């Protein structure tokens, strides 16, 4: 007998997020899937027959809510070591420059990544990805950018691919060679308040590495850090031109600390996303809206750095720019291991509604990665979903921490 579904989940309500706003709630819902894709999304009473005869397996749930699997569209989760000492120095009033002189900053993580073997880097990074998964993330973006030479950028991207294979989740890799100048291009092991040394020479080398890494199938997108302490718009443009020649989509660490026109620059290339954007201008927001570029809000970094300049939220809403929410999981400025906690911080600091935050970590997070097959519960989408021990979806942003996810499915397979 051929069954209609491989499995059906019943006994919970659904937050489908299908539609233009709100949760897309279905009380006492049912979810059926076949061959890793959703084949039924609706009320339990709409099933044409007994679930036990319709499906090979019935997942009986005792209340709660099902949402799409969360999509963490901006992480630096592959790294070695930590920067807890740097965190302590900042709390004591140290500036960025003082932290760098004390051996902190991006280059301290570069040293740790370069010293680690690929297996050691995987062993350190895998628990972070597993923590994100346990709290509902079924899709992760992971950036390079702590290797800053061909061998170590390759190592980071290979580890990111291995994490996806190990955990059974989707990992999208982003090449962030234009993250900082390595010591061999600065003549120093330290980073200052401004990029120094041969930045143009470094970008030329980083472009060559991109070509090689793309040929090896390790790159899904290209990012850069366009900032006074990063790379100039002209240098960023060189990286984006190289990405475009390889038909790779781009995204950008844009306008986090100052307005260098990063939002407008990435929109010019019809980029997937502009991330951070606390200092983005009205013109930049309009350009994003016209290009379909997603705004990725990163409240973890805002929180840890105790920033006060908010992203242009009302302008983003007014121009209809989708707002994604991500962890920015990284060792220096956002050591955050829960996308749900990022949603809570987005509500607290940025005044997003719980529905906006949940959409930001699902529908819009998927869009920020160029993925049209996930982010909502709709027939034909991937069967990526999470069952939560909550009475209403707003609780996902209400609780500070806690163990709310009871089951996580990716492609119809239970993975947590």
Residues tagged in the binding site annotation for 4-imidazolone-5-propanoate: 83, 146, 179, 256, 333
DSSP 181-230: --HHHHTSSS--SS--S-HHHHHHHHHHHHHHHHHTT--SEEEEEESTTS
Residue tagged 């069967």 (tokens): 383
CA 128, CA 228: separation in Å to the nearest integer?
30
Which helix (H) or strand (E) is 406 found in, with range? Answer: strand 405-410
Residues 204 and 241 sit within 8 Å (Cβ to Cβ): no
Which helix (H) or strand (E) is 11 found in, with range? Answer: strand 5-15
What residues are designated binding site for N-formimidoyl-L-glutamate? 146, 330, 332
By the 10 Å C-beta count (0-12 exposed, 13-18 middle, 19+ buried), 247 is classed as exposed
User: CA torsion 230→232→236→237, rounded to 10°?
Assistant: 180
DSSP 23-77: --EEEEEEEEEETTEEEEEEEGGGSSS-HHHHEEEEEE--S-EEEEPEEE-----
Residue 335 φ/ψ, nearest 5 degrees: -75, 65
CA separation, residue 207 to residues 148, 185, 381 (Å): 12, 15, 35
The CA-based angle 232-238-243, given to 5 degrees, is 125
Helices 199-215 and 150-167, packing angle to 10 deg: 40
What residues are designated binding site for Fe(3+)? 74, 76, 253, 328
Residue tagged 């991109």 (tokens): 210
CA separation, residue 301 to residues 4, 9, 78, 87, 219 (Å): 46, 37, 17, 12, 25
Please tell me what DSSP assigns to residue 336: -
DSSP E strands, 234-353:
251-254, 273-276, 294-297, 323-325
What residues are designated binding site for Zn(2+)? 74, 76, 253, 328
What residues are designated binding site? 74, 76, 83, 146, 179, 253, 256, 328, 330, 332-333
């Amino acid at each position: 007998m051929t069954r209609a579904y491989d499995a059906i989940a019943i006994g919970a309500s659904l937050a489908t997020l299908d539609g233009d706003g709100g949760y897309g709630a279905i009380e006492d819902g049912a979810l059926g899937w076949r061959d890793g894709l959703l084949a039924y999304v609706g009320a339990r009473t709409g099933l044409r027959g007994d679930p036990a005869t319709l499906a090979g397996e019935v997942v009986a749930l005792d209340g709660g809510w099902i949402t799409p699997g969360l999509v963490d569209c901006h992480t630096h989760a592959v790294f070695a070591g930590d920067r807890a000492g740097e965190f302590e120095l900042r709390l004591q009033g140290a500036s960025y420059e003082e932290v760098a002189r004390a051996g902190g900053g991006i280059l301290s993580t570069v040293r740790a990544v370069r010293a680690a073997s690929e297996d050691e880097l995987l062993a350190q990074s895998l628990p972070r990805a597993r923590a994100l998964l346990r709290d509902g993330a079924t899709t992760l973006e992971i950036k390079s950018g702590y290797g800053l030479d061909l061998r170590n950028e390759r190592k980071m991207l290979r580890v990111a691919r291995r994490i996806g294979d190990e955990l059974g989740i989707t990992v999208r890799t982003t090449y962030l060679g234009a993250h900082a100048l390595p010591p061999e291009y600065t003549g120093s092991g330290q980073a200052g308040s401004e990029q120094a040394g041969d930045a143009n020479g470094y970008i030329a080398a980083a472009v060559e590495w991109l070509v090689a890494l793309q040929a090896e199938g390790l790159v899904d997108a290209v990012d850069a850090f366009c900032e006074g302490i990063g790379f100039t718009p002209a240098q960023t443009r060189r990286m984006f031109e190289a990405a475009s020649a390889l038909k790779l989509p781009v995204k950008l660490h844009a306008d986090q600390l100052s307005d260098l026109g990063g939002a407008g620059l990435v929109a010019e290339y019809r980029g997937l996303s502009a991330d951070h954007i606390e200092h983005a201008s009205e013109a930049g927001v309009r350009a994003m809206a016209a290009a379909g570029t997603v705004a990725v809000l990163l409240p973890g970094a805002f929180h840890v750095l105790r920033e006060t300049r908010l992203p242009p939220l009302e302008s983003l809403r007014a121009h209809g720019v989708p707002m994604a929410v991500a962890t920015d999981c990284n060792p220096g400025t956002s050591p955050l291991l829960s996308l749900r906690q990022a949603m809570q911080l987005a509500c607290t600091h940025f005044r997003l509604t719980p529905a906006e935050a949940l959409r930001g970590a699902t529908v819009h997070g998927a869009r920020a990665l160029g993925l049209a097959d996930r982010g909502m519960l709709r027939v034909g989408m991937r069967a990526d979903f999470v069952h939560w021990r909550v009475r209403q979806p707003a609780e996902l942003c209400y609780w500070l921490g806690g163990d709310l996810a009871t089951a996580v499915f990716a492609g119809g397979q239970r993975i947590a």
